[in-house]
């Protein structure tokens, strides 16, 4: 994120910049989070080595979220996530904590 403080991102950098903003500074008013009513979650995975969990939708949208951040997920999305159950490479405390939040 430090790279983009001094220059305006273009092309692929602009996409990356948008993803970083969503991941590190989730804003409830952002258009991305307001489009949740269109999401149908097909998988929820934990990557414990990196401290990231991901949601994948039926449209191919992949949402990467840091474990230590709170995201403005709507009740319907949380219910979809819980019905799918968390997929994890191994049983871990981190996985149990995510499922119980």
Give pLDDT tens digits for 57-82: 999 999 988 888 889 999 999 999 98
pLDDT digits (tens, 9 = 90+) for 28-43: 888 888 999 999 999 9
pLDDT value at position 44? 92
Q: pLDDT above 90 covers what percent of the chain?
A: 28
* Residue 58: per-residue pLDDT: 95
In the prediction, which pLDDT does 3 show? 56
Pair of tokens at residue 44: 């929820």
In the sheet that holds 41-47, the strands lie side by side as 62-66, 52-57, 41-47, 87-88
User: How many residues in the chain?
Assistant: 101
Q: Do the bridges between strand 41-47 and strand 87-88 make them parallel or antiparallel, or are there none, so unpaired?
A: parallel
User: What mean pLDDT, rounded, does the chain reach?
Assistant: 79
């Amino acid at each position: 994120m430090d790279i983009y403080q001094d220059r305006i991102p273009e092309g692929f950098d602009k996409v990356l910049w948008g993803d970083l903003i969503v991941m590190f500074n989730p804003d409830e008013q952002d258009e991305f989070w307001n489009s949740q009513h269109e999401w149908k979650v097909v998988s929820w995975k934990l990557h414990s080595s990196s401290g990231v969990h991901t949601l994948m939708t039926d449209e191919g949208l992949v949402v990467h979220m840091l474990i230590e951040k709170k995201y403005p997920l709507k009740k319907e999305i949380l219910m979809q996530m819980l019905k799918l159950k968390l997929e994890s490479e191994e049983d871990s405390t981190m996985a149990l904590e995510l499922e119980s939040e």
